[in-house]
Amino acid sequence: MNSILIRNLNPKVNNQILEGCLSPYKPIVKLEIFNDAQNSEFKSARIQFENETMAKRALDEMNSTEIMKKKITIELVKSENGDGDVEKKERIGEVVFPIAKERYFNEAAKLTGMMIDAILKNTQNDEDLLNDLLNDELILDELIDTAYEKLILES
């Protein structure tokens, strides 16, 4: 667990700003900023450190602090062998949420959650299949429509 996920970042935060804030925890192996799937007004970031000690230190010292006037939350990213495919869930959410929001605005969050669960279950550990699916908007449209129909039937 040498990675953290930072949520609720100001939309103006970029790699340089975040690297500066995280400079006490260097070296950073990888830093990726993306739109937050749960809240489109914010960004999130996934940061991989060289070791677990630096990741935990960044979590302990920076969680609930502010970057550019926004209070951030930080969590450790569990390894893919463990409980959470956090990274995959975020990737799926980044793709699915905007489509669901455009089509079914009020139900977008529920549909995204349903889609994340279904896609993870059906792609399992096949990274190529997951990538192909996330790059095929026609299939995603069909799946979101099907999930919406299921949501309506369950209501």
Per-residue pLDDT reduced to its tens digit, 33-91? 888 766 667 888 999 998 889 999 999 999 999 999 999 999 998 654 444 577 788 88
CATH number of 3-76: 3.30.70.330
Distance CA 100, CA 131 (A): 18
Residue-level pLDDT at 50:
87
Residues of the chain with CATH 3.30.70.330: 3-76
Share of the chain above pLDDT 90, in %: 44
Residues 6+ apart with CB under 8 A from 118: 143, 147
Distance CA 23, CA 28 (A): 8
Cβ proximity of 22 and 58 under 8 Å: yes
Q: How many CB atoms lie within 10 A of CB 111?
A: 24
**CATH architecture of the domain formed by 86-154:** Orthogonal Bundle (1.10)
Residues of the chain with CATH 1.10.1900: 86-154
Residues 87-113 have a mean pLDDT of 88
Distance CA 73, CA 17 (A): 17
Cβ proximity of 148 and 104 under 8 Å: yes
More confident residue, 15 or 154: 15
